[in-house]
C-alpha cells in the first residue's frame, strides 16, 4: 500500500525538497492540471498566466484550457519571447515583465529547462520576482529533474511537476512527480480535485463520505499507486542517490563543454548552437540549429546508432548524459556529426 513512499526520500533529495513536499504519481500533464486546480485561482483583477514562448505544447494546451475553463479569454495568457535574433529569454526581460504586469498575473509557470532551446531558467529569481508581486509560481521540471541541481524548498516555489522519461530513466509513460511547498501542506481551504488516495491514510479505509486530505503533496493523490511502474523508477532513483546530483552536475558541465568545444571546431559551419553558452544557463542538452537538410542528417546519424532528437522545423537536440555517457561517446558523436554534415 505505501509503495510510492519508497521513492519519497530520494525524490525529495533530487529536487531539494522536504519529504512532505513531494509525491510520485500520475503523468506530468495530469499533475499540472491538478496543481492548477489548486494554484490557478483567477479573479477579475488577477487572471493572467505567464509562460515562456515555445513552452512544451502539452503545457500550452493545459494552461489555455485552464484559462478557458475559468471563463477567461486567450488574452489572459502572456508568452514571454526571446528578443528578435536571440534564442534565449533574458532574465532582465522576465523581471521587467513581472514588474510591469505582475499585479494582473495569477500564475507564473516556466520550464526549469526549456525543452527546445535547453535554456535553464533561474527559478529562484523568478520565484522571488513573482512573489514580490503577489503571483504564485510553478515550474515544469521535465527537462531539469536529474539534469541540474534544484533547491525547490529554499527557492520557495509554490509547486512543480516533472516526468521521469528523460534524465530519470523511466522511459515513456513512466510515473511523474509533484512538489507542493510546505507552506501549502496544511492549507485545507485550498480547493483541489480529490481522490481517495489523497484522503488522510489514518481514516481512508473507514470509507467515509467526507474528504480529509493528507498533509503535504500526498494530499493531491487521486488513485492508489501503480507498483509495477514505480519499481524501475525506484531502481533509477537509487542510482541517482549513489552517484549524487552534485557529482553528476560536475561531470555534466565538463561533458557538455567538451561537446560544445568539438562542435565549434567543425570545419563545416552550416549550423549554430542555440543553447546558452554559459554553463549556468543550461543543463546537459545542446540544441543545434541546422540550416538545411537537418532531418536527413538526423536520420543518417540514427542509422549509425547515434540517437539524437529532431524537432521541426530545424532543431537537432543532443544531450551528453553524465550518468552513462563518456567523453569517448561525445568524441564519437562529434566525429559522426561532422561526417554526416559533410
Ligand atoms: C516539458 C514537458 N512538459 C510536459 C510533458 C508531457 O508529459 P506527460 O506525457 O507525462 O503529460 C513533457 C513530455 O515529454 C515535457 O517534456
Q: What is the per-residue pLDDT across 95-127, written as a single tens digit (0 to 9) for each?
A: 999 999 999 999 999 999 999 999 999 999 999
26 vs 305: which has the higher pLDDT: 26
Task: Compute the distance from residue 340 Cα to the ligand 1 centre, in Å.
Answer: 30
Q: Which of 219, 317, 217 is nearest to 273 (CA)?
A: 317
120 - beta bridge partners? 113
Tell whether ligand 1 has an atom less than 6 A from the beta carbon of residue 163: yes
CB atoms within 10 A of CB 241: 14
Q: Residue written as cell 557529482?
A: 247
Tell whether ligand 1 has an atom less than 6 A from the beta carbon of residue 118: no
User: DSSP letter at 121?
Assistant: P
Residue 73 near residue 131, CB atoms below 8 Å:
no
pTM for this model (two decimals)? 0.96
pLDDT at 292 over 80: no
| Ligand 1 atom with the shortest distance to the CA of 31 | 11
For position 171, what pLDDT does the model report? 87
Residue 285 near residue 321, CB atoms below 8 Å:
no
Mean pLDDT score, 274-302: 92
Q: Tell me the C-alpha distance between 182 and 21, whole Å.
A: 6
Tell whether ligand 1 has an atom less than 6 A from the beta carbon of residue 34: no
% residues pLDDT > 90 (the chain): 89
For position 342, what pLDDT does the model report? 83
For position 266, what pLDDT does the model report? 80
Ligand 1 binding pocket mutation candidate from 58, 115, 177 (most atoms within 8 A of CB): 58
Task: Compute the distance from residue 142 Cα to the ligand 1 centre, in Å.
Answer: 6
Residue 116 near residue 136, CB atoms below 8 Å:
no
Phi, psi of 323 (to 5 degrees): -65, -35
Tell whether ligand 1 has an atom less than 6 A from the beta carbon of residue 58: yes
| Ligand 1 atom with the shortest distance to the CA of 26 | 10
% residues pLDDT > 70 (the chain): 99
Task: Place 73 in a pLDDT band, splitting at 50, 70 and 90.
Answer: very high
For 149-184, the pLDDT digits (tens) are 999 999 999 999 999 999 999 888 999 999 999 999
Tell whether ligand 1 has an atom less than 6 A from the beta carbon of residue 59: yes
Q: If you take atom 16 of ligand 1, which residue's CA is the nearest one? A: 142
For position 307, what pLDDT does the model report? 86
289 - beta bridge partners? 272, 315
- Cell triple for residue 202? 489514518
Task: Compute the distance from residue 162 Cα to the ligand 1 centre, in Å.
Answer: 8
* Strands of the sheet with 285-290, listed across from one edge: 271-273, 285-290, 315-319, 309-311
Task: Place 330 in a pLDDT band, splitting at 50, 70 and 90.
Answer: very high
Amino acid at each position: 500500500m505505501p509503495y510510492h513512499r519508497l521513492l519519497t526520500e530520494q525524490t525529495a533529495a533530487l529536487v531539494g525538497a522536504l519529504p512532505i513536499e513531494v509525491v510520485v504519481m500520475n503523468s506530468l500533464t495530469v499533475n499540472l492540471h491538478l496543481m492548477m486546480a489548486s494554484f490557478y485561482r483567477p479573479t477579475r483583477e488577477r487572471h493572467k498566466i505567464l509562460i515562456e514562448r515555445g513552452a512544451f505544447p502539452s503545457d500550452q494546451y493545459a494552461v489555455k484550457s485552464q484559462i478557458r475553463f475559468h471563463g477567461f479569454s486567450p488574452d489572459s495568457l502572456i508568452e514571454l519571447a526571446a528578443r528578435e535574433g536571440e534564442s534565449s529569454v533574458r532574465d532582465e526581460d522576465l523581471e521587467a515583465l513581472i514588474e510591469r504586469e505582475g499585479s494582473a498575473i495569477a500564475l507564473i509557470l516556466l520550464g526549469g529547462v526549456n525543452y527546445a532551446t535547453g535554456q535553464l531558467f533561474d527559478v529562484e529569481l523568478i520565484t522571488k520576482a513573482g512573489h514580490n508581486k503577489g503571483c504564485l509560481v510553478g515550474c515544469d521540471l521535465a527537462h531539469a529533474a536529474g539534469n541540474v541541481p534544484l533547491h525547490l524548498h529554499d527557492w520557495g516555489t509554490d509547486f512543480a511537476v516533472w516526468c521521469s522519461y528523460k534524465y530519470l530513466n523511466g522511459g515513456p509513460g513512466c510515473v511523474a512527480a509533484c512538489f507542493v511547498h510546505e507552506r501549502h501542506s496544511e492549507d485545507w481551504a485550498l480547493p483541489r480535485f480529490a481522490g481517495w488516495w489523497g484522503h488522510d491514510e489514518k481514516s481512508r479505509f473507514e470509507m467515509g463520505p467526507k474528504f480529509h486530505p493528507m498533509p503535504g503533496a500526498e494530499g493531491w493523490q487521486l488513485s492508489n499507486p501503480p507498483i509495477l511502474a514505480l519499481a524501475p523508477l525506484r531502481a533509477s532513483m537509487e542510482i541517482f542517490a549513489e552517484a549524487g546530483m552534485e557529482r553528476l552536475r560536475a561531470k555534466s558541465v565538463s561533458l557538455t563543454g567538451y561537446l560544445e568545444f568539438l562542435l565549434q571546431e567543425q570545419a563545416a559551419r552550416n549550423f549554430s548552437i542555440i543553447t546558452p553558452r554559459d554553463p549556468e544557463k543550461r543543463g546537459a542538452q545542446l540544441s543545434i540549429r541546422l540550416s538545411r537538410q537537418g532531418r536527413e542528417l538526423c536520420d543518417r546519424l540514427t542509422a549509425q546508432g547515434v540517437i539524437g532528437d529532431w524537432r521541426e522545423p530545424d532543431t537537432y537536440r543532443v544531450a551528453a548524459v553524465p550518468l552513462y555517457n563518456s567523453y569517448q561517446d561525445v568524441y564519437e558523436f562529434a566525429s559522426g556529426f561532422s561526417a554526416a554534415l559533410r
